[in-house]
Structure formats: structure tokens, C-alpha cells
Structure 1
Amino acid sequence: MSPPEAPRSRGAYRPRSVEQRIVFLTGAGLSARTGAGVFRGPEGLWALAPEMEEAMHADRLPASLPRLWQVWGHLARLAADHGPTPGHYAIARMGAPVITQNVDGLHQRAGSGTVHELHGRAYTAVCMDPGCDWEAPLAPGEGPRAEDHGAPSQCPACGSPVRPDVVLFDEMLPEAAMREAAALARTADVLVAVGTSGIVFPAAQLAPLARAHGATTVLIDIDPPTGDFVRAAYDHVIAADAHEILPDWERTLVGGGGGRNPFLEPFG
């Protein structure tokens, strides 16, 4: 028998106090307001530019490096230019740990202290040799070469090609980040997924894991996915703009009170 349909009203859930251990799981929808867009769905990057998805397979390296630098360098540049969104700032103000599928570093820039990046970092260059630990921050730009983003094409330590530090298809997610993410899910009182489809594994296992350990699970998305998996994973599904919902929660939890709230200002 299928689980009961989860509530989908805007006011379906509200955190009750700062004593609750709230953990956030975030996806591309939270950063879409920067202009980066999302990857899946009819308006996603993979649908609009299938040749880019082809370049995201690990077995295409190193021939796919020019496309990788174009795609991920551009995304990192958008994040650097636009900065964190109201949702990022609200999460940081709540002091909650974050598990993110995003690679843009916006949670850290907003002030979040604990951020586990499951899919890597588009703002960092790394050596392609798995035995070499060279890495360096990027100065994201536009173009198909590492030099266009402030990195050398060849590793200064060993001479191997340099790539953006993002997880490609057919690559394993960072073991440490997944381990810490699972630990957070098991100990959360509330797990809130924001801007993620909730169907991409292994991140998709985190909400069911949290729920199995007694957490209340919440999904916030303007156009949330439906289906048995979502109903089984989430107690509450809120179809609304996270950049309005999260600042509202932040006011409630940390006592922002009345008056002017910078997190509700238009994001420009």
C-alpha cells in the first residue's frame, strides 16, 4: 500500500525552535536565481544542451576538458558575480549544517560554517593524476582553457592536465563528504531539502535515512517532483519559493523580529 499523500500547502511546516537540529540538503534550484539554472527537467541544461551532458562523462577525459572549462567555469563565474541568494543567507543565519549538491561555493560565501559538497567544487582546479594532491582556487572567467579561469593547463607539481574539481558521471562522490552527510541525516531532528529533485542517488537516500531515524523531512521547491518516492521520503512538501520561505523561517528561529529584513529584498 502506498504511503499517504504528503501535505503540499505553503504553510505545511514551520520549524518550532532553534533547539531543533535542522539540516539542509540543497540542490541547483537554490542557486538558480544567480542565472546558473538547473540541470534536469525540460528547461534544464542537459535538455537544452545535450552536447554538454556528453562532455560530463569521465571516460571522455581529457578530450572533454575544453567543454568542462566552458561549462563549469561559466557557472563559477555566475556565482562569483551574483553572490549568494536570500535563501543561502537565511540558511547561514539559522546556523544549520548544509549538505549540498551544488558546486558554486555560495553557502560558504553566505556564511555557513559546515558545508559538505557532494558533487565537488567548480571554484577549484585540481590535478587529473589521482596520485597528485595539487589544487588551487580559480578566478572564473569565460572560455575553454584553464588559463581563462586563472589556472595552468598543466599541473605545476607533476605536469598532468588540470581540470575543474567537479564530480562527473561515472565518478565516485567524495567519500568523506558522503560519510559526514549520512551522519548528519541520522542525527537530524528536521531535514529540509531545497531546490533538488530528490531522485538523484546517492544524495536521494539522505531524506529517507533521516526519516528512518525519526527526523521530520521537508521538501521546498517551486515545482516539486511528485510520485511514490517523494511521498515516501518527505513528511511535508511545500510548493513555494525558497527565497521567501527560508527568510521567513530565519526570522522565526533567530528572532529577526519586525522592521526591514535584508533577506527579503529583491535579489539583483
Structure 2
Amino acid sequence: MSVAADLARRIADAGAVSVLTGAGMSAESGIPTFRGTHDSLWSTFDPMALATETAWRTDRDLVWGWYRWRMALVAQAPPNAGHRALAALAQHVDVRIATQNVDDLHERAGSVVDAHVHGSLFALRCFECGRAHEAPLDAMEPQAAPLRAAPPFCAYCDGDVRPGVVWFGEALPEDAWQRAVATTHCAVMLVVGTSGLVQPAASLPLLARRHGAYVVELNPARSALSDAVDLHWPVTAAEGLPLLQAALTT
């Protein structure tokens, strides 16, 4: 029996599947991963100068410009076959998704995301008062390199608006984390395109196994989680998830 067929049987028997996705989920849409390749974000940019509260306080025009560049990259990136397959799976079984990604490709493919563990690029909020910023941003074309740009002002307190991502040194959003933990109470968990290096998100597959789940990693390369899951399936998201969706629905 193929991996896809065996997984389809397990998921069909359970009537549900939990999915944890990382940067590899969106790599085939053209969104750079954070680590692990020569063209990953942290091989090109210094995270301490761009993704910390100190960086924001030191040079917020630089930080905002970098995140606006990333928003533009995401906005022009289409959901890939893996995103679409997860959305299609949800028409047949209960699919619960926790993602480490800050993009919106799951939602644009038609999925409901239970938890954005590391926040969202587009969930803007005021740095000072924390209120959501609902005003639309001006359209921006992705450039060859990020540009400096002044952040918009908060409509409530005139503070500067920041991206809704979790920076290094910040706590995860408690409500999102609790929703992510809830997905670990499952019979089957798929771990798709994550390095397994970023805590506490990397603990979710281990927690699912302790709850009795059958945990399968979809990743073309072995990761820090590979030896701790039930099966490592060496495929990309856009390769493996459509095979699984086809096996479950045909």
C-alpha cells in the first residue's frame, strides 16, 4: 500500500486530520523560507535588525519597509497545489490547521486556519495601544530589495502601526497557541514543510504523539523532527498533499 493510500485510510477512519504547516508549505508558491537554503531570508537578512522590538524602536522605517516588501511578495504569490489539496480535503473530512506561516495562502486557497501560531503579516496593529489597524495599505510591487518606508498611524492614538507577526523575543499569542495545542488531540497529524527548529511550535507533533496520534512528516529533506515522528514521507507539500487528497476522495 502506498503512503498516500495508507494515510487516506487512517484519515477516513478517524474522519479528521490535524495539520501543522511551516515555511516549506509556501516555498513552492515562491515565498522564501527562513532558514536551510542559500536564498532563505535569514541567510540574506539579519533577523536581529529586522524582527525584534529593539529593531523597531531603533529604525522602524527600515523594519516597516522590509515587512511591506514581504507583504508584496506574499500578495503576488498564488496558493500552490498543496494549499488547494488541503482545502479540498476539508470537503470530505474535518481538517484542522495550525500554521507557523505568517502568509494568507491557506485562506486564499479556501481553508480555515485554526491558529496562526506566529501571527500574520496582514493582521496589523498599533505598536502603542495594540488596537487592530483596519485601513487598507497602498498597493506595492515587490522590489528587488526592500525599501525604507514610514509606517502608517493608528486611528485611535496616532501611534505607529506594526505588522502582526511574532518577533524574536516576543511571546506567542496565547489564544492562537491554545488553539494550536487543541489540534494535537487527533488520530492523525501531518507535519508539512517545517524545520522542527522553532519552539514551541516544534513541540506540537510530539504532543500529538503523546496523545496517541499517528504523526507523518511531509518534507523532501529530513528535519529535526524526523526521528521523532511515525513516518517521514520525502515529498514536498505540492507533491504529497494532492496525492493524499486524490487517494481519500477517489
TM-score greater than 0.5 by the shorter chain: yes
Contact 2:86/2:245 (<8 A) preserved: yes
**Of 61, 65, 69, the match for 1:66:** 61
Q: CA deviation at 1:132?
A: 3.8
Q: CA deviation at 1:79?
A: 2.1
Residue equivalent to 2:112 = 113
**Cα displacement (A) at 1:61:** 2.1
Which secondary structure state, in structure 2, belongs to the residue aligned with residue 14 of structure 1? helix
Deviates more, 1:239-248 or 1:200-209: 239-248
1: CA distance between counterparts of 2:48 and 2:5?
36
Amino acid at match of 1:48: T
Amino acid across the alignment from 1:62: R
Partner of 2:8: 15
SS at match of 1:71: helix
- TM-score in terms of structure 1 length: 0.80
Q: 1:76 aligns with which of 58, 71, 79?
A: 71
CA positional deviation for 1:158: 0.2
Runs of 4+ in structure 1 displaced over 6 angstroms?
Answer: 9-12
**Residue of structure 1 in register with 2:208 after alignment:** 210
- Alpha-carbon contact 1:98-1:115 (below 8 Å) kept: yes
- Residue 204 of structure 1 and its aligned partner are, at CA, apart by 0.7
Matches within 5 A, 1:119-158: 119-129=118-128, 131-136=129-134, 138=137, 141=140, 142=142, 143-146=147-150, 153-158=152-157
For 1:182, give the aligned amino acid: V
Matched letter for residue 149 of structure 2? R
How far apart are the structure 2 equivalents of 1:198 and 1:242? 16
Q: Would the aligned equivalents of 1:10 and 1:240 in 2 still touch at CA under 8 Å?
A: no
Deviations 1:183-228 (A, max 9, x none): 111x2111111110012101011000000000000111122225xx
Question: Compared with structure 1, are the counterparts of its residues 60 and 111 closer, same or farther at alpha carbon in structure 2 (3 Å cutoff)?
Answer: same
Offset, 1:139: 5.1
SS in 1 for 2:8: coil
Partner of 2:86: 91
For 1:28 and 1:98, how far apart are their aligned partners in 2? 14
1:69, CA displacement in angstroms? 2.3
Aligned counterparts of 1:182 and 1:216: Cα–Cα separation in 2: 16
What amino acid maps onto 2:220 in structure 1? I
> Is 1:36–2:34 an aligned residue pair?
no
Alpha-carbon distance between aligned partners in 2 of 1:116 and 1:42, rounded to the nearest angstrom: 26
Deviations, residues 5-63 of structure 1 (Å, cap 9, x unaligned): xxxx976952314342211100111111222211012422112223x443212222223
In the TM superposition, 1:139-178 aligns within 5 A as 141=140, 142=142, 143-146=147-150, 153-178=152-177
Give the one of 202, 222, 225 matched to 2:223: 225
C-alpha distance after superposition, 1:136-157 (max 9, x if no partner):
25455254325xxxxx622111
1:104-161 C-alpha deviation (Å, 9 max, x unpaired): 11111111123310111112321001x4423225455254325xxxxx6221110111
Structure 1 contact 23–98 (Cα < 8 Å) conserved? yes
5+ long unaligned stretches in structure 1? 1-8, 147-151, 256-268
Amino acid at match of 1:184: T
Aligned length: 236
Partner of 1:102: 101
Whether 2:243 is the aligned partner of 1:244: answer: no
Alignment TM-score, normalising by the size of structure 2: 0.86
Aligned-pair RMSD on alpha carbons?
Answer: 2.2
Aligned equivalent of 1:265: none
The AA in structure 2 aligned to 1:203 is A
Distance across 2 between alignment mates of 1:76 and 1:13: 38
One-letter amino acid of the counterpart of residue 34, structure 1: S
Q: 1:18 to 1:64 in 2, by over 3 A?
A: farther
How many angstroms does 1:249 deviate by? 0.6
**1:182/1:26 CA distance change after superposition, 3 Å:** same
**How far off is 1:83 after superposition?**
1.8
Q: Which of these residues, 43, 49, 61, is aligned with residue 45 of structure 2?
A: 49
Question: d(CA) in 2 for partners of 1:248 and 1:29?
Answer: 17
